[in-house]
Structure 1
């Protein structure tokens, strides 16, 4: 059997695939590249269907046994790093076509980790599509536009630098628990109901998820929009005692979650918001799997969307691209994110309905619409899962564009309505208070002004870890005050 790859524009793909099939061949689509293959006696007819212009991929004609054709989906370059002698026929970063025997593929798939998966190459399938950017007019003067404009690169940079400062975020390490506790304090300081939830790992080991919740304004019919990322990191070559900075995988996604949480905290939404940082992802999606398993049926049913961020900091495609990965039940989420990308960013959008190896998968397996946002798939960050996954791999401008797309999507999906109530002191949004003595009302008023100032400094990247601890302590003192006085906060958290 012979094969080659060709460049096919989106507008010509429908005609091209029919032509390949008519000639007796098969095809697999990777964005604007198409891998065509056919039996030796049919190859000349298949190859003749392509113009000279379509042969610009640099891929020559090769030979392979059809049964040995396999699709690899990998995180970074993990498959190629572990099996460098495997023949790679076609390389699109996250996705590879390799020549490997069915028995060897089965053996490799029995591994316990989820760094890669090997599948028989399915005939006539789309692995991912690449949408031609069609810029639309950016809405202005709306809560959606204001929320997006509040997503700041400096805030993302501050969060990602702090997370990378831990020697490791290995799920079972003390450093991981320290990082999780810090994130929990940051989210609580923003006004979310945040807590650590236990996660069990193989061998009797433990980790934790950080779960932060906020109630929407939609009454009993409101649903839930969930934003997730995994907090843990790993260094496979160095082992569990080695440094694992995990800048791209996945301090970038975790810092992105905190950045979005900070932006959303200043607005009211129709639906609930839940922000989750998962532990145990690198050991097999344990944090997300256990969280989904624990959800009652009613809670699953009212989860309208799950947005996952895993590796959003490294530019792997030209032009810069974001990959939106889900399943058929995620299609409306993918379309919504693609729309936000055209409104608020200059990113090229790639889409795939082949979910793999990140925390959106357990939600999809449970019938909950979920989508992964990840750096585009034309190449891959080879530094992940090593001690070389450091801050110099992060392009903050690129990550901020992905976050602005995500913010635009959240605004629509969760139903942003207006900024939270302003306390009137010029410090920013505040929480309404009801009841209590005048002295209590005055004191809570000043607490709200303090919280708004903390939030603004946090957004500008000017708070230290100690400042975040003080913010959380002030929040606890405020809550104790209103509880003792018999008053209760009304409305949305401060920004």
Structure 2
């Protein structure tokens, strides 16, 4: 037997805490702001004393069998619904520390069916970390213009339409209608769009793929993806499955970023994909990756996956960035964009699971999942209760603005030119009023984006109680200016 305990600690206390544990031959796993620590029975009295002497407060404590600690990564509460009697030692929503025999773990993993994963609990490593908002390094000058193009109304209309289908089960007639509608939305933005058939079990479904060519001489490719299908596990394939959060929110997010990007030029190609068959086992993304030729695969610079971006499950609101080691540069740039354009806490995990970033990672392609923080607390997904009233539109827009700031960097957003009203366009004769109006619109969008970044900084200061009365007045003025610019841009 071993002794275990949990300790809640902030970033500043973690290094000293880890040193105390390891000096006394214990080991640890970090899950956000909690450390889960273990030590042999005979080492427990000395370790407990040292931790208390250092001022650390022990949380839950107990005994556990050797070799019985497992990490569970789940969608919603899938594992706990399937195995209500399993002993959970630490519950962090998406991530659980559970006591299981090896035979139990292997049997449960085999029955997970894509809804949860069971793996050995990492030793002396982080499962995920949480960072408070921090000041970002300088964003590309054009980034605020793309961020400003992320419009509430576009997202709201898209998610409302997607939830109007009775189900978006991958092999249903409703899914086919939703896919055709999404293709038409991409085409209305001026993007080349098509549906590509896929197989799902014994049936057929489709991926919806839209492209925007880049202008760079050696253009790579950046993918923005999400899954279009929904599911109702308790009710079966014919039951209502509105799937508002999982994953109308991510699908609407892909359409919203496509709308924001359509008015801009990028160095690299953009590909927007809505996958089918995700809920039955990542069929759409797996078949897409399998169909990539060597050169096409090598051109992919990054994949951004959005799956469940609409529900606030804990305070303060957070976004989880999940990938593998090769995703770290993408995660770092997303965290910087979160600092520049949102007031969200950022959670980071290199324990990827259960969504359409996985086939890309398995193929060695950098990919990252952006998903609502503490998503395991969302018990409505995969049921008839995943309805629109659970969506926080403002929260989803924050995640999308982070993603837009990242996209501006990753895809090489071009700086908009601002010609004089009477200046001719090079080689094209007089640009005329229409060209000038378009340039003014781009400038207004860019300025509105800068204001949004400032307002995000004000929100963080306000949350921490650091705003003076004069600051509140200045923030109100910025809101008014930003609203005025948005109305002009509309």
Q: Same fold (TM over 0.5)?
A: yes
Is contact 2:335–2:346 with CA below 8 Å preserved after alignment? yes
- State how far apart, in whole Å, the 1-side matches of 2:382 and 2:416 are: 40
Q: CA deviation at 1:391?
A: 0.8
Give the superposed CA RMSD.
2.7
Q: CA deviation at 1:420?
A: 9.4
Is contact 1:216–1:268 with CA below 8 Å preserved after alignment? yes
Which residue in 1 is equivalent to 2:486?
A: none
**Where does structure 2 lack aligned partners over 5 or more consecutive residues?**
429-433, 446-489
- The correspondence of residues 259-274 of structure 1 with structure 2, limited to 5 A, is 259-274=256-271
Q: 1:210 to 1:378 in 2, by over 3 A?
A: closer
Q: CA deviation at 1:145?
A: 0.4
Q: CA deviation at 1:111?
A: 2.4
Which residue in 2 is equivalent to 1:16?
A: 17
Which residue in 2 is equivalent to 1:200?
A: 199
Indicate the SS of the match to 1:415.
coil
Which residue in 2 is equivalent to 1:49?
A: 50
Query: 19-28 or 41-50: which moved more?
Result: 41-50
Which residue in 2 is equivalent to 1:319?
A: 316
Q: Which of 404, 407, 412 is the matching residue for 2:409? A: 412
Find out whether 1:299 has 2:286 as its counterpart.
no
Which residue in 1 is equivalent to 2:70?
A: 70
- The correspondence of residues 462-473 of structure 1 with structure 2, limited to 5 A, is none
Q: 1:334 to 1:63 in 2, by over 3 A?
A: same
Query: 170-179 or 127-136: which moved more?
Result: 127-136
Q: CA deviation at 1:49?
A: 3.1
Which residue in 2 is equivalent to 1:427?
A: none
Find out whether 1:363 has 2:327 as its counterpart.
no
- State how far apart, in whole Å, the 2-side matches of 1:181 and 1:13 are: 51
Is contact 2:352–2:358 with CA below 8 Å preserved after alignment? yes
Per-residue CA shift, 1:56-114, capped at 9, x if unaligned?
7xx42112113221110001111111211211110001000111211011111112620
Q: 1:199 to 1:419 in 2, by over 3 A?
A: farther
Q: CA deviation at 1:421?
A: 10
Is contact 1:317–1:379 with CA below 8 Å preserved after alignment? no
Is contact 1:116–1:357 with CA below 8 Å preserved after alignment? yes
Indicate the SS of the match to 2:319.
strand
Is contact 1:266–1:420 with CA below 8 Å preserved after alignment? no
**Where does structure 1 lack aligned partners over 5 or more consecutive residues?**
425-431, 435-444, 457-494
Q: CA deviation at 1:190?
A: 0.3
- State how far apart, in whole Å, the 1-side matches of 2:63 and 2:112 are: 32
Q: CA deviation at 1:20?
A: 0.5
Which residue in 2 is equivalent to 1:83?
A: 83
Per the normalisation by structure 2, the TM-score is 0.83
Per the normalisation by structure 1, the TM-score is 0.82
Q: 1:394 to 1:54 in 2, by over 3 A?
A: farther
Is contact 2:75–2:376 with CA below 8 Å preserved after alignment? no
- The correspondence of residues 166-181 of structure 1 with structure 2, limited to 5 A, is 166-181=165-180
Is contact 2:320–2:371 with CA below 8 Å preserved after alignment? yes
